[in-house]
Amino acid sequence: MNNVSIIGIDISKSSFQLHGATSGGEPVLCKKLSRGKVLGFLDSQPPCLVVMEACGGAHYWGREVQRLGHEVRLIAPIYVKPFVQRQKSDARDAAAIVEASQRPTMRFVAVKSEEAQARTMLYRTRALLVQQRTQTINALRGHLAEFGVVAARGAANVERLWVAFAEIAETLPAPVVPSAGLLFDRIEELNAQIADLEKRVRAMVREQEDLRRLTTIPGVGEIGAMAVHAFAPPMETFRRGRDFAAWVGLTPRQVSTGGRERLGRITKMGQRDLRRVLYLGAMAVVGQARRRKEFPDPWLRRMLADKPTRVVAVALANKMARTIWALTVTGESYRAPKAAGTSAA
């Protein structure tokens, strides 16, 4: 098996399927190994190219295989699927991974470091707690609305909901008060946990100059800067800012044929967490501009005069992504556009 040039690995929980091929693509290895024997087997092989799908655990295995002296490449599963022959099996999946890796135009996923995955976990833990808080608040509002206690949506109005609940608590049926109390306590607990995570994010941003520079972009903020460093590959991977915006999924879907170009809604094919945080940041900028009727950016002023709010927010998120790429690659600081005065849109 000294002529093995490429090894494709189909990852699973307990058993891994390996498919080896020569540089010309001729199959020379088909082997199934338990999880504990994979690294030992690869350590016995001469340095070669090891390819895996970019799925759960792939970055860990990529780092471990790199330490053995092999070159590691990860491929998005959507790019592997067209190369699966006939019916699906682990062996066919591993062979498809090798076949896909040999395409000259194939795009690969960079192996993340432990630090990058730690930032990913920090961001997603906060996002999960925020989601749980929203679910709890909505459940509480729904229950109390059945007893005539109402308040506006949002975490900022929980205090008003508590005041309105406390005023009529004595008149409510016995099971309502302790049940509502549990939900109020859960919201308070989640608020404390979210605040603690955000404190860690701010501390991390203050320690890194490249993160602090991104926070100067309107709409990015500390959470957005953390999301960029947690989910985005090295910016040098992209030739230009538009390529990064397309990777995030903020460019129009193209369905063109016969020389006729047709552009639709954004593709949403990129990194969902990063796209979401950029869109929310853009919505915050657009909403603030409409409320205050102040448009320091002439481009934003023109867009809001002609386009719906959500369309402008998507366009602004695209612009933010391109600005992030530019600041990261050039190392420059954000320069605000020349003020255009104040005007109502």
Mean pLDDT, residues 106-122: 91
Place of tokens 């605040």: 195
Q: Looking at the domain assignment, is residue 110 inside a domain?
A: no
**Chain-wide mean pLDDT for the chain?**
89
Q: Which of 207, 235, 264 is the last residue of a domain?
A: 207
Q: Looking at the domain assignment, is residue 203 inside a domain?
A: yes
On whether both 326 and 218 belong to a single domain, the answer is: yes
On whether both 228 and 316 belong to a single domain, the answer is: yes
Q: Which of 39, 71, 101 is the last residue of a domain?
A: 101
8-state DSSP, 132? H
Q: What is the pLDDT of residue 333?
A: 84
Q: Per residue in 240-265, pLDDT tens?
A: 999 999 999 998 887 777 777 777 78
Q: Quote the pTM value.
A: 0.83
Q: How confident is the model at residue 2 (pLDDT cuts 50, 70, 90)?
A: low
Per the CB < 8 A criterion, the answer to whether 77 and 8 are in contact is no
Q: How confident is the model at residue 344 (pLDDT cuts 50, 70, 90)?
A: very low
On whether both 214 and 325 belong to a single domain, the answer is: yes
Number of domains in the chain: 3
Q: Per residue in 267-312, pLDDT tens?
A: 878 888 999 999 999 999 998 888 877 777 888 888 888 888 899 9
Asked if the model's pLDDT at residue 340 lies above 70, the reply is no
On whether both 201 and 218 belong to a single domain, the answer is: no
Q: Per residue in 179-214, pLDDT tens?
A: 999 999 999 999 999 999 999 999 999 888 888 999
On whether both 287 and 248 belong to a single domain, the answer is: yes
Question: From CA 284, how far away is CA 307, in angstroms rounded?
Answer: 16
Q: What is the pLDDT of residue 87?
A: 85
Non-local (6+) Cβ contacts of 240 within 8 A are: 325
On whether both 200 and 218 belong to a single domain, the answer is: no
Q: Per residue in 20-69, pLDDT tens?
A: 999 888 999 999 999 999 999 999 999 999 999 998 899 999 999 999 99
Question: From CA 148, how far away is CA 133, in angstroms rounded?
Answer: 22
Mean pLDDT, residues 216-222: 91
Residue 321 sits in which domain range? 210-330
